[in-house]
Structure 1
């Protein structure tokens, strides 16, 4: 008679790992789990956002100011967004402020990973000088997005596209973040997740807003 009994120790490690991810996938928790791992990666500081030197931006701002007085040359001009409150907002209405534009989705683990540090940055910025646009590209309506934001307790402004997506904001990666000057020019672009609540990014945004 075979006296060998079943033991979890006899299960290969790869099978256990596959089973755990299978359960997470079936329960819809895989995105959160992967996002949490990537959040730990961000905390190490090896994925800090890259921003240019503020003096490089300042040298071109004066030249660009006259070009954007009508808003015609502003990045995203003509684009409309709808907020969680159902109100439609014209992107060019943000002209005159620094715009922190983050393109994300609820199904995107890197997006979820970087959101806490973006929210932390948002709470440190002057809303009269720096406008945050968390632009969701989720399909299926606002309900899923609003449920996600409410669950997380985020208070930054969240929108969804309400018109054709501007060509200037196309990217091969998600998340992608754009920083737009008060003159309406894209001055920084970050593809993929990053840590934004850093001294360098805060000083960059504050310097643009002066």
Structure 2
């Protein structure tokens, strides 16, 4: 029995236990990813746009609709002239939960700005579950459900997916995976899009 309960076996069992918790418990995995974000990993890849390049063609976003908890429909086509932060997430998705505090910080910075719109789309279409999560965390983020077809160029089904549209409705940022959206670099990116007089 002493051979089984030696120091090496106990350490191995602890490592395996921690590994299993990280794999099987979404909140534990989210906590680990959030910690990695805090030390600088998972930074959003915001490429500097070439200001001398010809502007990309604006997409027609009309008909891409989302419904909020009160039943109000928002059509992306009606948001032309505004910067739109669109995030697809789910309560069971550890990377989604890991990035949510940074999304909330970004939202808090721009929530009173009429030129920046936040749409957080619950991929499960379960308002009760998503609102319970937001309330538990103290977030005031606006939760929506998909109310139309969403083109694959915007959302391919991977979570989390974040898309930012400029004021002409052009995709300025489209990334899959968790990122720290409260970083100075990303905040400056949103401010630059907002100030742009394209």
TM category, shorter: 0.7 to 0.9
Give the greater-gyration-radius structure (CA). 1
Shift of 1:197: 1.4
**Structure 2 residue 46 is the aligned partner of structure 1 residue 51:** yes
TM-score normalised by L of structure 2: 0.82
2:29 partner SS: helix
Question: Is 1:136–2:122 an aligned residue pair?
Answer: yes
CA displacement 1:115-139 (0-9 Å, x = unmatched)? 1111111111253111111111015
Unaligned stretches of 5+ in structure 1? none
**Equivalent of residue 171 in structure 1, options 156, 174, 198:** 156
3-state DSSP of counterpart to 1:167 = coil
Structure 2 gap segments, 5+ residues each: none
Are the aligned partners of 1:173 and 1:191 in contact in 2 as well (CA < 8 Å)? yes
1:145 is aligned to 2:130: yes
Structure 2 equivalent of residue 121 of structure 1: 106
Q: 1:10 to 1:54 in 2, by over 3 A?
A: closer
Matched ranges for 1:57-206 at <5 A: 59-60=54-55, 64=57, 73-75=59-61, 77-125=62-110, 126-138=112-124, 141-171=126-156, 173-206=158-191
Poorly superposed stretches of 4+, deviation over 3 Å: 6-26, 54-59
Taking structure 1 as the reference length, what is the TM-score of the superposition? 0.78
Relative to its length, the structure with more helix (as a share) is 1
- 1:25 & 1:180 partners in 2: Cα distance? 34
Cα displacement string for residues 73-112 of structure 1 (whole angstroms, at most 9, x for unaligned residues):
334x312211123322222222210011111111110111
Preserved CA contact (<8 Å) 2:21 2:28? no
